Amino acid sequence: MNIVVDLNRCQAYAQCAFLAPEVFELHGEEALLYVPAVPEDQQERVHRAAVACPVQAILVGGAAGADVR
């Protein structure tokens, strides 16, 4: 599972940093850092975080190009 956050949309409501603190981190007051490749044991939390995002900026999906052959 990979994630990308559209940081143009992000307004630092930080719901993700509360709900999945090992994946999303506020760096200073409102800059968001995150781990793009989500560890297995964090997936449920990340799902919760993505759904909770007030600006729906978190995209969750399988790794792009997984079908590269």
Closest CB 12 distance from other proteins, rounded Å? 5
Q: What are the Cα distances from residue 66, in Å, to 13, 20, 62?
A: 32, 25, 8
Closest CB 6 distance from other proteins, rounded Å? 7
Closest CB 23 distance from other proteins, rounded Å? 10
DSSP 2: E
Rounded (10°) CA dihedral 51, 42, 1, 3:
50
Binding site for other proteins (CB under 8 A): 1-4, 6-8, 10-15, 17-21, 25-37, 45, 47-48, 51-52, 54-56, 59-69
